[in-house]
A and B are shown apart, each in its own frame.
Chain A
Amino acid sequence: MDQELNQELATKLMAMPGEARGVVFKTDGDYVIKQAGEEGLKKLEEELTALGCPIDYKKINALSFYPIGLRIISLLAIRKVFSFDDVKIKELGTFASKTSLMVKLFINYFLSINKVFFEEAPKIWRKHYSVGDFTPIELNEEKKYGIIQIKNYQFHPIFCEYLGNYLCGFFQMLIKTSSINFEETKCPFRGDEYHEYTIRWK
Chain B
Amino acid sequence: MEITNPTPEQNKIAVLLDDLASLESYARDLFSFLPLPVCLVSSIGIILETNPALEKISGYSIEEIIGNPLEKILSKLDTKQLIKETLEKGSVPSQEIILTTKDKKKVYVSASTLLRKNEQGEIIGFFIGLFELTTIKENEEELRKSQSALLNMLEDVEEEKRKAEEEESRTSAVITHLTDGLLVFDSQNNLSLINPPAEKLLGINSDQAYNKSLDELAAFIDNFKPLLKVLGKNIKEVSRQELVIGELTIEVSSASIGTSQKDHGGSLVIIHDITREKGIERMKTEFVSIAAHQLRTPLSAVKWALSLLMEGDVGELSAEQKSFISKSYDSNERMIILINDLLDVARIEEGRYLYKLVSAKLENLAQAAISACREIAAKRNIRLEYIKPEKEMPEIMIDGEKITMTIQNLIENAIKYTPPGGQVTVSVKYDTNKATVSVKDNGVGVSQEQQNRLFTKFFRASNVMRMETDGTGLGLFIAKNIIEAHGGKIWCESKENEGSTFSFSLPINH
For A65, the chain B residues whose CB sits under 8 A away are 1
A110: which of B17, B48, B62 is its contact (CB, 8 Å)? B48
Contact B49 A95 (CB under 8 A): no
For B48, the chain A residues whose CB sits under 8 A away are 104, 107, 110, 173
Where chain B touches its partner, the secondary structure class is: mixed
Contact A101 B24 (CB under 8 A): yes
Docked CA distance A174–B66 (Å): 11
Contact B124 A107 (CB under 8 A): yes
Residue B67 is within 8 A (CB to CB) of chain A in the complex: yes
- Segment from B37-45, B300-308, B476-484 that makes contact with A: B37-45
Residue A74 is within 8 A (CB to CB) of chain B in the complex: no
Shortest Cβ distance from residue A34 to the other chain B in the assembled complex, whole angstroms? 8
Contact B42 A173 (CB under 8 A): yes
Residue of A nearest to B72 (CB): A178
For B63, the chain A residues whose CB sits under 8 A away are 94-95, 98-99, 169
Residue B68 is within 8 A (CB to CB) of chain A in the complex: yes
- Segment from A4-12, A56-64, A133-141 that makes contact with B: A56-64
Residue A172 is within 8 A (CB to CB) of chain B in the complex: yes
Residue B122 is within 8 A (CB to CB) of chain A in the complex: yes
Contact A107 B49 (CB under 8 A): yes
Shortest Cβ distance from residue A62 to the other chain B in the assembled complex, whole angstroms? 6
For A61, the chain B residues whose CB sits under 8 A away are 17-18, 21
A98: which of B43, B67, B118 is its contact (CB, 8 Å)? B67
Docked CA distance A193–B66 (Å): 34
B1: which of A19, A101, A104, A174 is its contact (CB, 8 Å)? A19
Given contacts A99-B62, A169-B67, A172-B67, contact A63 B125 (CB under 8 A): no
Within 8 A of A (CB), among B15-68: 17-18, 20-21, 24, 40, 42-46, 48-49, 61-63, 66-68
Residue B69 is within 8 A (CB to CB) of chain A in the complex: yes
Shortest Cβ distance from residue B470 to the other chain A in the assembled complex, whole angstroms? 116
Shortest Cβ distance from residue A29 to the other chain B in the assembled complex, whole angstroms? 13
Residue of A nearest to B43 (CB): A111
Residue A67 is within 8 A (CB to CB) of chain B in the complex: yes
Given contacts A98-B62, A173-B42, A176-B46, contact A108 B24 (CB under 8 A): no
Contact B45 A176 (CB under 8 A): yes
Residue A197 is within 8 A (CB to CB) of chain B in the complex: no
Q: Which interface residue of B1, B61, B118 has the most chain A CB atoms within 10 A? A: B1
For A110, the chain B residues whose CB sits under 8 A away are 42-43, 48, 124-125
Shortest Cβ distance from residue B40 to the other chain A in the assembled complex, whole angstroms? 7
Interface residues on B, range: 20 to 34
Residue A194 is within 8 A (CB to CB) of chain B in the complex: no
Residue of A nearest to B21 (CB): A61
Residue A66 is within 8 A (CB to CB) of chain B in the complex: yes
A107: which of B44, B45, B62, B125 is its contact (CB, 8 Å)? B125
For B44, the chain A residues whose CB sits under 8 A away are 176
Shortest Cβ distance from residue A128 to the other chain B in the assembled complex, whole angstroms? 15
Question: What 0/1 readout, one digit per residue, does chain B (189-221) give for beta carbons within 8 Å of chain A?
Answer: 000000000000000000000000000000000
For B24, the chain A residues whose CB sits under 8 A away are 62-63, 101
For A107, the chain B residues whose CB sits under 8 A away are 40, 42, 48-49, 124-125
Residue of A nearest to B122 (CB): A111
Count how many chain A residues have C-beta atoms less than 8 Å from C-beta atoms of the other chain: 28
Contact B45 A173 (CB under 8 A): no
For A174, the chain B residues whose CB sits under 8 A away are 46
For A94, the chain B residues whose CB sits under 8 A away are 63
Question: What 0/1 readout, one digit per residue, does chain A (37-79) give for beta carbons within 8 Å of chain B?
Answer: 0000000000000000000000001111111000000000000
Residue of A nearest to B14 (CB): A64
For A95, the chain B residues whose CB sits under 8 A away are 63
Contact A64 B21 (CB under 8 A): yes
Given contacts A62-B21, A94-B63, contact A172 B46 (CB under 8 A): yes
Question: What 0/1 readout, one digit per residue, does chain B (311-336) give for beta carbons within 8 Å of chain A?
Answer: 00000000000000000000000000
Docked CA distance A88–B68 (Å): 20
Q: Which interface residue of A97, A98, A108, A169 has the most chain B CB atoms within 10 A? A: A98
Given contacts A63-B24, A101-B24, contact A108 B118 (CB under 8 A): yes
For A64, the chain B residues whose CB sits under 8 A away are 1, 17, 21
Contact A66 B1 (CB under 8 A): yes
A111: which of B67, B68, B124 is its contact (CB, 8 Å)? B124
Given contacts A176-B44, A176-B46, contact A98 B21 (CB under 8 A): no
Contact B122 A173 (CB under 8 A): no
Docked CA distance A172–B42 (Å): 11
Docked CA distance A175–B66 (Å): 12
Shortest Cβ distance from residue B60 to the other chain A in the assembled complex, whole angstroms? 12
For A175, the chain B residues whose CB sits under 8 A away are 46
For A22, the chain B residues whose CB sits under 8 A away are 21
Within 8 A of A (CB), among B326-353: none
Docked CA distance A149–B125 (Å): 29
Chain B residues near A (Cβ < 8 Å): 1, 17-18, 20-21, 24, 40, 42-46, 48-49, 61-63, 66-69, 118, 122, 124-125
Given A34-B61, A172-B67, 10 other A-B residues pairs in contact with their CB atoms under 8 A: A63-B17, A63-B20, A63-B24, A65-B1, A98-B63, A99-B63, A107-B40, A111-B122, A173-B48, A176-B69
Task: Give 19 pairs: A residue, B residue, CB < 8 Å, sorted on A.
Answer: A19-B1, A61-B17, A62-B24, A64-B17, A65-B1, A67-B1, A94-B63, A99-B66, A107-B40, A107-B42, A107-B125, A108-B124, A109-B124, A110-B43, A110-B48, A110-B125, A173-B42, A173-B46, A176-B46
The 6 closest A-B pairs by CB, nearest first: A172-B67, A98-B66, A61-B21, A98-B63, A63-B17, A176-B69
Chain A residues near B (Cβ < 8 Å): 19, 22, 34, 61-67, 94-95, 97-99, 101, 104, 107-111, 169, 172-176
